[in-house]
Chain A
Amino acid sequence: MNKKQRHIFWPVFLLLCLLTVALSASITYWRHTVPLSQCSEVYRQYRDMPGIQASFVKDKQINDTLFLDMTLFEAEDSAAFANLLRTIGKSDEFIYDMTVLREQYITRKNANEIRFSGSCLRGHPEQQADSDLSKNEILSIFPVRRCIVVFHTQSELDLKTVMDKSYFDEININK
């Protein structure tokens, strides 16, 4: 019995250590995680797409006064990026242009890392923007990094602030 108990001690102690670390990690992560119900509709809709890494950040700082919720979609490869663009209602022509731009950037024919920004209906990136600007949010496409960022603007002022911050030419992406 003595030897058995002696053998039990270390496994039990290691198990307790693991439990402590797991508990501490889960508490820490829980405090830094937004519940899924509070995440954006776009994030919930597209986060399970194959080849796509989605992230949602609450109250991301844009400038000194503006804090916005943001959703980021990052494609692992060009096929996943094309699939994502197709899902949000972009034409094949537009997708081809994105691929060409990326290739041009890689081969250094085009030094600019172009961003395509436009408005879309809140929660529905595949739909056209509403005439009431407060119902819209900003969808930015970064073809070189194969990224899509959605700025969840709440008012017309937010939308204009984000748009004004851009020093790239705005191009209408609602093709």
Chain B
Amino acid sequence: MTNEQSLAQTINRMHDRNRRCLQRRMLSEINRHTDHWASGINLRRHIIGGAFVLVFLFFSTPYAMTPQLPDKPMNVSAPFSRQHALLLMDNLTQQS
């Protein structure tokens, strides 16, 4: 093999290595973008899912609070004693 041939071979090998390296970098960059939660379809999926969860929480909270909510509007000095006060009032009103 002549010196020129050897040099050309070395240059080709270097180019190959550079190409492979570049390919790997580009692939990792593409993966990074598609994996990112705020990218393309991922972002849409998160927004729709999140909105469903928030709407569910908003409308389910009053049902979760039902034991604490009286049928009549009332004001209490002690927090979380509405139901207890209302039951006691019912009891005392029946007595009176």
**Are A and B genuine complex partners?**
yes
Considering only CB atoms, which chain A residue lies closest to B70 in the complex? A32
Interface of B is mostly: helix
- Known A-B contacts A17-B57, A33-B74; the reply to A25 vs B89 at CB < 8 A is no
Instruction: Please measure, in the bound complex, the distance between the C-alpha atom of A24 and the C-alpha atom of B32, giving whole angstroms.
Output: 38
Contacting residues, chain A, for B77 (C-beta < 8 A): 47-48, 52-55
Select A6's contact among B37, B59, B89, B92, beta carbons within 8 Å. B37
Q: Is B6 an interface residue (CB 8 A)?
A: no
- Known A-B contacts A2-B36, A13-B50, A60-B72; the reply to A55 vs B85 at CB < 8 A is yes
Considering only CB atoms, which chain A residue lies closest to B53 in the complex? A17
Q: Is A174 an interface residue (CB 8 A)?
A: no
Select A17's contact among B46, B54, B59, beta carbons within 8 Å. B54
Contacting residues, chain A, for B35 (C-beta < 8 A): 2
Chain A interface, number of residues (Cβ within 8 angstroms) = 51
Q: Is B5 an interface residue (CB 8 A)?
A: no
Contacting residues, chain A, for B78 (C-beta < 8 A): 53-54
Instruction: Please measure, in the bound complex, the distance between the C-alpha atom of A55 and the C-alpha atom of B80, giving whole angstroms.
Output: 11
Instruction: Please measure, in the bound complex, the distance between the C-alpha atom of A70 and the C-alpha atom of B62, giving whole angstroms.
Output: 25
Chain B interface, number of residues (Cβ within 8 angstroms) = 34
Q: Give the Cβ gap from A101 to chain B, nearest Cβ, in Å.
A: 15
Contacting residues, chain A, for B53 (C-beta < 8 A): 17
Contacting residues, chain B, for A140 (C-beta < 8 A): 92, 96
- B75 in contact with A55 (CB, 8 Å): yes
Which one of A21, A52, A113 has the greatest number of beta carbons of chain B within 10 Å?
A21
Contacting residues, chain A, for B85 (C-beta < 8 A): 53, 55, 57, 72, 74
Instruction: Please measure, in the bound complex, the distance between the C-alpha atom of A35 and the C-alpha atom of B75, giving whole angstroms.
Output: 8
Q: Is B61 an interface residue (CB 8 A)?
A: yes
Instruction: Please measure, in the bound complex, the distance between the C-alpha atom of A57 and the C-alpha atom of B76, giving whole angstroms.
Output: 9
Contacting residues, chain A, for B70 (C-beta < 8 A): 32, 57
- A33 in contact with B75 (CB, 8 Å): yes
Contacting residues, chain A, for B69 (C-beta < 8 A): 28-29, 32
Contacting residues, chain A, for B88 (C-beta < 8 A): 72, 74, 145, 147
Other 20 A-B pairs with CB < 8 A, given A2-B36, A31-B73:
A9-B46, A16-B50, A21-B57, A21-B58, A24-B58, A24-B59, A25-B61, A25-B62, A28-B62, A43-B75, A55-B74, A55-B81, A55-B85, A56-B74, A61-B93, A72-B88, A74-B85, A117-B96, A147-B88, A168-B95
